[in-house]
């Protein structure tokens, strides 16, 4: 028995050196420790041992069994360790490598300007209202006091979609739609796309406007100028001033053209303001009584102010852009200048 055990120990140690993975480990267990393995075989061999020697032989077999099991446990732990180390090595990530930069987008300059304008007027209590881009003649012209065949229709080169249906030439029809809601007082901004058959360095067939409308009791031109002062100061700097010049729009009476003191030269005169110290930025006025009546509002009780801002014009002035086309070409070299 002593010899058998010695032989088994030698064989087990030789096999043990060859176990490198789970499959070999399992074969090792099968060979020595399973029910039909070598250690169990020793136990069965006890039958052939003389009765009086059995207890001693049983003892050394049990010792051998415990030793073999311990060998197996050690081996299993070593195989586990080796496999873990191999997996860690394969999955290693070098956290010192530089990251892959992702290109980030940026707001379009027209969106930046639009947001700034909305912010200023929202601070004065204005809400935003949006009307349709395809309008009927009634909202776009007639109810804004521009009847059919009125010479003022020549002021806007209109795209007709059908008889009496147009691409809106301005955001002013938004005024009619808001007043038709029948809720007073009114304080709204109407931003949006407008369309005119016109194209050169400063005109595009599609561009953007921001309409403003206030209807309440006792509204005057002073309210208009006060609000516009806040607006130009927020966009062009705290020291700029506005100036109102008499003008003509069919939907306002009186009508004004609003100039801003030149933010480039401070009013002394430079190429941007063509030496005048003033830059024209928008049109506005007191809502024509006929327009109020067209919307069922009594001009004896209520009065209104309105203005229309060209968003491209403001963006071009503010950022020094000399060709309106740049705003629509979407050349990244141009757009990336407005990042951050």
Q: Which residue is nearest to ligand DAH (CB)?
A: 308
Residue 61 burial (CB count, 10 A): 22
Q: Does 306 bind ligand DAH (CB under 6 A)?
A: yes
Question: C-alpha angle 131/137/140, rounded to 5°?
Answer: 45
Cis peptide before 254, with omega less than 30 degrees from 0? yes
Q: Which is nearer to ligand DAH, 109 or 310 (CB)?
A: 310
DSSP string, 4-25: HHHHHHHHHHHHHHH--SHHHH
Q: Does 307 bind ligand DAH (CB under 6 A)?
A: yes
Total number of residues that touch ligand DAH (CB under 6 A): 11
Which residues face 303 on adjacent strands? Answer: 216
CB of 325 to ligand DAH, least distance (A): 20
Q: Does 172 bind ligand DAH (CB under 6 A)?
A: yes
Binding segment for ligand DAH among 53-61, 67-75, 91-99, 278-286 (CB under 6 A)? 278-286
Binding segment for ligand DAH among 2-10, 83-91, 101-109, 305-313 (CB under 6 A)? 305-313
CA–CA separation, 186 and 34 (whole Å) = 91
Beta-sheet pairing, 127-128 with 186-195: parallel
Q: Which is nearer to ligand DAH, 109 or 304 (CB)?
A: 304
Binding positions for ligand DAH, 235-254, rule CB under 6 A? 249, 252
Q: Does 176 bind ligand DAH (CB under 6 A)?
A: no
Q: Judge whether 79 and 21 are in contact, CB under 8 Å.
A: yes
Q: Which is nearer to ligand DAH, 15 or 257 (CB)?
A: 257
CA–CA separation, 12 and 110 (whole Å) = 82
Question: Given the rule CB under 6 A, which residues bind ligand DAH?
Answer: 170, 172, 211, 249, 252, 283-285, 306-308
């Amino acid at each position: 028995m002593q010899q058998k055990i010695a032989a088994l120990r030698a064989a087990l140690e030789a096999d043990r050196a060859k176990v490198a993975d789970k499959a070999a480990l399992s074969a090792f267990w099968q060979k020595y420790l399973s029910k039909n393995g070598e250690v169990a075989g020793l136990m069965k061999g006890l039958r052939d041992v003389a009765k009086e020697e059995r207890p001693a032989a049983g003892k050394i077999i049990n010792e051998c069994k415990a030793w073999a099991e311990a060998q197996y446990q050690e081996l299993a732990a070593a195989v586990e360790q080796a496999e873990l180390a191999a997996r860690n090595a394969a999955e290693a990530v070098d956290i010192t490598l530089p990251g892959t930069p992702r290109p980030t987008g940026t707001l379009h300059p027209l969106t930046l300007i639009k947001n700034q304008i909305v912010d200023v007027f929202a601070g004065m209590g204005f809400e935003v209202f949006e009307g349709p881009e395809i309008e009927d003649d009634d909202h776009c012209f007639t109810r804004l006091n521009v009847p059919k065949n009125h010479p003022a229709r020549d002021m806007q080169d209109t795209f007709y979609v059908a008889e009496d249906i147009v691409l809106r030439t301005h955001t002013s029809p938004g005024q009619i739609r808001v007043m038709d809601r029948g809720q007073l007082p009114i304080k709204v901004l109407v931003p949006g796309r407008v369309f005119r058959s016109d194209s050169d360095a400063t005109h595009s067939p599609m561009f953007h406007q921001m309409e403003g409308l206030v209807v309440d009791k006792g509204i005057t031109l002073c309210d208009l100028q006060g609000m516009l002062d806040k607006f130009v100061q927020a966009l062009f700097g705290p020291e700029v001033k506005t100036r109102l010049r008499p003008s003509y729009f069919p939907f306002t009476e009186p009508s004004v053209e609003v100039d801003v003191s030149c933010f480039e030269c401070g009013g002394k005169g430079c190429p941007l303001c063509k030496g005048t110290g003033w830059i024209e930025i928008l049109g506005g006025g007191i809502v024509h009584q006929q327009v109020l009546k067209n919307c069922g509002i009594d001009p004896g009780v209520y009065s209104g102010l309105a203005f229309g801002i060209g968003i491209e014009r403001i963006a071009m002035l503010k950022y020094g852009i000399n060709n309106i086309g740049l705003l629509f070409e979407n050349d990244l070299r141009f757009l990336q200048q407005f990042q951050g």
